[in-house]
Amino acid sequence: MLQLMKTLVVGANGKIGRIYCRIAAERGIPSRALLRDPEQRTYFESIGVETALGDLEDEFASTLEGCDRVVFTAGSGGKTGGDKTLLIDLYGAIRVIEACEATGVDHFVMVSAMRAEQPLAGPPAIRHYLVAKKLADERLRASPVAHTILRPGLLTDEPASGRIRVDVAPGSGHKISRENVALCILASFDQPSARGQTVDLLDGDEPIATLFAARDCS
């Protein structure tokens, strides 16, 4: 039986989500964009990506039907308050993970954030955001669903270089282009050794194609 791999993109209308959907469509990789607002459909129709309407603060579980992969790149963004960080970035993520557990999703890729593991060491303005990402990551790690956690640094709109680094030692830079992050999501789904891994991501010199292959899976 031919298995069709379709990926539900949660947060599809965000910057990384839109880039991911475009690149996936260019490569013929099936995606479904989870959208909250019907007016967001135009872009996805223009790039040939299927859409489904749902709301992380309400109902969305039916949009998982027929999907065996999920990427979570939803974020309430900097324009809303900490209440939405709690409701979307954290509780939205938990509810999506629970729905994936209920429906038997095969692989979940989480777009987290660099240094999420130590929220109180982060800049005061984003500490609450780092707490949300940390707790969502921990919930995913405790799940039986296979998962990969990507933790990019400061996001830029530069075009993809196709090359990254996972060494976040001080002095190694702290930026990564969103296009590179989208390519790393695709690599996560492609490479069996990506399962169970948490990796920091910065622009660098390592080809994305060898991101997980080159890493110790322990």
Residues recognised as catalytic: 129
Contact assessment for residue 47 and residue 40, using Cβ atoms and an 8 Å cutoff: no
Candidates 97-105, 119-127, 173-181, 189-197; binding stretch for its own copies (CB under 8 A): 119-127
Residue 1, classified by CB atoms within 10 Å of its CB into exposed (0-12), middle (13-18) or buried (19+), is exposed
CA atoms of 154 and 107, how far apart (whole Å): 25
Binding mask 126-165 for its own copies (x = CB under 8 A): -xx--xx--x------------------------------
Of the residues 25, 29, 87, 145, which one makes contact with its own copies according to CB under 8 A: 87
Candidates 12-20, 36-44, 87-95, 166-174; binding stretch for its own copies (CB under 8 A): 87-95
CA atoms of 46 and 25, how far apart (whole Å): 11
The reply to whether 93 sits near its own copies by the rule CB under 8 A is no
Of the residues 5, 45, 46, 57, which one makes contact with its own copies according to CB under 8 A: 57
Residue closer to its own copies (CB basis): 85 or 197: 85
Nearest approach, Cβ of residue 183 and its own copies (Å): 31
Candidates 2-10, 124-132, 186-194, 209-217; binding stretch for its own copies (CB under 8 A): 124-132
Of the residues 6, 29, 68, 91, which one makes contact with its own copies according to CB under 8 A: 91
CA atoms of 197 and 85, how far apart (whole Å): 24
Q: Which long-range contacts (CB under 8 A, 24 or more apart) does 191-198 make?
A: 193/217, 194/148, 195/107, 195/146, 195/147, 195/148, 196/146, 196/147, 196/148, 197/148, 197/149, 198/112, 198/137, 198/141, 198/148, 198/149, 198/151
Interacting residues with its own copies (CB under 8 A): 57-58, 81-87, 90-91, 94, 119-120, 127-128, 131-132, 135
